[in-house]
């Protein structure tokens, strides 16, 4: 058994079991992270809300995770690791119970934010303990890759394992499942952990809760604007305008506060480093492109009429690509490959995915055509994710590495919100544009229209429908066909935009060789991942 520098666990517990249990403690939280998005329509139906409300519940979880990330460190200093685990895990179980019993979104919203805060504490402690038990850089980077591999696989994995549950029971059954998934790890930690604390107990005085509150409000308002902005017509609505003004004021207050206090919540010196800012840009673009795959799943459901079971099975190819990409990226980081050699293939895979999907969108298609593009999308995201976060953290001195990690986490949140806003905006804009274009060319005297209406009317009357009813039904079928074409054209236009964006990023990677001056390695043994 390996020598243990910090006896957080009792001597009879084997080292391999400790690492498995610590990783397993993060799994339930990762599963409930994107849980509402597994079947957004089922969730909206269960809570009697709109799909946008369900998206906002995910954003609130994310905002809680991002906002509490820096404040969580003080609680780690105040509580022993065993106390910390038991407290935060018990609170997470209670939060899942509330989500299980409630059907009101206004109860769900604050609960989801609290779940995000508890997830931050659970994940940060688990991975901090894992990092302290690994003496080599190799082990730390493998652990880092495993964690992020699990995180980016959460959405397709959730779709795969919860489809049958949601179809057979009410949507809230997934929270009941999450509760039971916490129990084995909780029992093991109670039996196996000691009350050891590495430092003197620091009391929770001078807790920078003010920065936490300001930062969290900014994050929630960003999520609110990006998700509901299109529905409320952006600046025409006083709620959106007020939220934007609120963000501007709070950002100014936050910057002034961080520069004036001795121990800033997020050290703004990180923005002095050029490669740090480039890494944030790369991560932001990757997240926008990552969630564009939601358009593909929507296309499978609405145009190809595939049921949720089949969509989840198709996404196994995406899941396989993610796993392969993370493994390859981890190997390349361990071999000290240049960051350009990792980013280049990763963004090339994403470009190929969007280009192939652009030519594959159609009202009738064979699902076999989408296996390779989905695998390529997963491979690209898997290649980019971990090296980019390590690149961002490595671009700054180790003393301000936690601030860099927190900022990388915030950028991922902004990328998630921005992707939702872009899709909502372009869906409405492009569908309206194409609908108007079709109206300009489709008239009652158009031979194709006349032929379509005549055929549909004949089919309906042949099956016993009255002629005047058949004519009205044929017109509705024509409108339905137009709506399908509008959605397909919107998907093609959005993916074309992503192709040009990715081409620009590839050009940036190729033309700026100074990116390779940052060595990819994790400098601190006590680093908590973003």
What is the largest distance, in Å, between two alpha-carbon atoms of the chain? 86
Residue found by looking up tokens 């997470």 in the block = 92
Which pLDDT band, with edges at 50, 70 and 90, does 446 fall under?
Answer: low
CA distance linking residue 460 with residue 112, whole number of Å: 49
**Stretch 497-523: mean pLDDT:** 77
3-state helix, strand, coil in the chain (%, to 5): 80, 0, 20
Write out pLDDT tens, residues 337-348.
888 888 989 999
Q: Does residue 213 surpass a pLDDT of 70?
A: yes
Q: Which one, of 371, 323, 8, lies nearest residue 153 by Cα?
A: 323
Q: What is the model's pLDDT at position 493?
A: 87
Which pLDDT band, with edges at 50, 70 and 90, does 439 fall under?
Answer: low
**Stretch 187-209: mean pLDDT:** 71
Between 464 and 491, name the one with better pLDDT. Answer: 491
Write out pLDDT tens, residues 154-170.
778 777 777 777 767 77
Which pLDDT band, with edges at 50, 70 and 90, does 244 fall under?
Answer: very high
Q: Does residue 474 surpass a pLDDT of 90?
A: no
3-12, 225-234, 321-330: segment of lowest average pLDDT: 3-12
Q: Does residue 250 surpass a pLDDT of 70?
A: yes
Residue found by looking up tokens 């549950």 in the block = 165
CA distance linking residue 428 with residue 432, whole number of Å: 6
Q: Does residue 5 surpass a pLDDT of 60?
A: no
Q: Does residue 300 surpass a pLDDT of 50?
A: yes
SS (H, E, C) 128-164: HHHHHCCCCHHHHHHHHHHHHHHHHCHHHHHHHHHHH
263-272, 355-364, 392-401, 452-461: segment of lowest average pLDDT: 452-461
Residues in the chain: 530
CA distance linking residue 117 with residue 122, whole number of Å: 9
Q: What is the model's pLDDT at position 455?
A: 67
Q: Does residue 221 surpass a pLDDT of 80?
A: yes
Q: Does residue 3 surpass a pLDDT of 90?
A: no
Q: What is the model's pLDDT at position 273?
A: 86
- Long-range contacts of 262-269, Cβ-Cβ distance < 8 Å, separation of 24 or more: 263/208, 264/211, 264/403, 265/70, 265/71, 265/208, 265/211, 265/212, 265/215, 266/70, 266/215, 266/403, 266/406, 266/407, 267/400, 267/403, 269/396, 269/400, 269/403
CA atoms within a 13 Å half-sphere pointing along the CA-CB vector of 370: 24
Between 71 and 168, name the one with better pLDDT. Answer: 71
Q: Does residue 61 surpass a pLDDT of 50?
A: yes
The token duo for 464 is 């016993």
| Beta-ladder partners of 9 | 193
Decide if 27 contacts 141 (C-beta within 8 A).
no
Mean pLDDT, the chain, integer: 80
* Percent of the chain's residues with pLDDT above 90: 20
Write out pLDDT tens, residues 393-422.
888 887 888 888 888 889 999 999 999 898
Write out pLDDT tens, residues 103-149.
888 899 999 999 999 888 887 777 777 766 665 556 666 666 777 77
Between 5 and 499, name the one with better pLDDT. Answer: 499
* Percent of the chain's residues with pLDDT above 70: 81
Q: What is the model's pLDDT at position 527?
A: 45
Q: What is the model's pLDDT at position 284?
A: 93
Q: What is the model's pLDDT at position 153?
A: 79
Q: What is the model's pLDDT at position 138?
A: 61
Which pLDDT band, with edges at 50, 70 and 90, does 349 fall under?
Answer: very high
Which pLDDT band, with edges at 50, 70 and 90, does 521 fall under?
Answer: low
Q: Which one, of 224, 379, 167, lies nearest residue 286 by Cα?
A: 379
Which pLDDT band, with edges at 50, 70 and 90, does 20 fall under?
Answer: confident
pTM to 2 decimal places = 0.86
Give ∠ CA 190-196-197 in degrees, rounded to 5. 120
């Amino acid at each position: 058994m390996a020598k243990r520098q910090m006896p957080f666990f009792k001597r009879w517990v084997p080292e391999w079991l400790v690492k498995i249990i610590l990783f397993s403690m993060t799994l339930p939280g990762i599963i409930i992270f994107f849980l509402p998005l597994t079947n957004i329509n089922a969730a909206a139906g269960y809570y009697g809300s709109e799909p946008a409300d369900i998206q906002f519940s995910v954003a609130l979880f994310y905002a809680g995770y991002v906002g509490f990330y820096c404040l969580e460190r003080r609680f780690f200093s105040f509580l022993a690791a065993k106390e910390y685990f038991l407290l935060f895990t018990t609170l997470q179980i209670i939060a899942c119970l509330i989500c299980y019993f409630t059907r009101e979104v206004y109860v769900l919203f604050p609960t989801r934010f609290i779940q995000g805060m508890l997830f931050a504490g659970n994940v940060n402690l688990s991975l901090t303990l894992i990092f302290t038990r690994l003496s080599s850089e190799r082990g730390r980077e493998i652990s880092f890759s495993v964690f992020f591999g699990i995180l980016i696989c959460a959405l397709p994995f959730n779709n795969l394992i919860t489809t049958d549950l949601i179809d057979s029971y009410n949507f809230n059954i997934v929270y009941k499942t999450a509760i039971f998934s916490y129990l084995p790890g909780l029992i093991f930690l109670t039996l196996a952990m000691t009350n050891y604390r590495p430092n003197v107990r620091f009391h929770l005085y001078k807790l920078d809760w003010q920065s936490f509150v300001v930062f969290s409000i900014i994050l929630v308002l960003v999520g609110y604007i990006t998700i509901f902005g299109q529905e409320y017509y952006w600046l025409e609505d006083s709620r959106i305008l007020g939220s934007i003004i609120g963000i501007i004021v709070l950002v100014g207050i936050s910057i002034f506060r961080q520069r004036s206090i001795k121990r800033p919540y997020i050290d703004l010196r990180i923005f002095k480093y050029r490669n740090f800012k480039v890494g944030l840009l790369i991560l932001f673009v990757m997240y926008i492109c990552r969630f564009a795959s939601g358009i593909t799943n929507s296309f499978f459901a609405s145009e190809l009429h595939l049921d949720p079971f089949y969509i989840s099975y198709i996404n196994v190819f995406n899941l396989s690509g993610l796993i392969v990409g993370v493994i390859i990226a981890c190997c390349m980081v361990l071999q000290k490959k240049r960051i350009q050699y990792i980013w280049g293939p990763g963004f090339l895979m994403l470009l190929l995915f969007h280009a192939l999907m652009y030519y594959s969108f159609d009202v009738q298609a064979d699902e076999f055509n989408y296996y390779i593009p989905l695998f390529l999308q997963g491979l690209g995201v898997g290649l980019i994710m971990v090296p980019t976060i390590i690149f961002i953290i490595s671009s700054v001195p180790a003393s301000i590495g936690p601030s860099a990690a927190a900022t990388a986490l915030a950028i991922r949140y902004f990328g998630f919100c921005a992707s939702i806003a872009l899709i909502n905006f372009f869906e409405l804009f492009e569908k309206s544009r194409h609908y108007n274009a079709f109206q300009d060319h489709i008239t009652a005297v158009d031979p194709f229209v006349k032929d379509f209406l005549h055929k549909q009317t004949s089919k309906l009357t042949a099956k016993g429908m009255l002629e005047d009813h058949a004519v009205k039904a044929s017109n509705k079928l024509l409108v339905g066909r137009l709506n399908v074409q509008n959605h397909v054209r919107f998907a093609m236009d959005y993916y074309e935009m992503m192709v040009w964006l990715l081409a620009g990023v590839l050009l940036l990677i190729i033309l700026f060789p100074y990116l390779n001056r940052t060595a990819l390695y994790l400098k601190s043994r006590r680093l908590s991942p973003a």
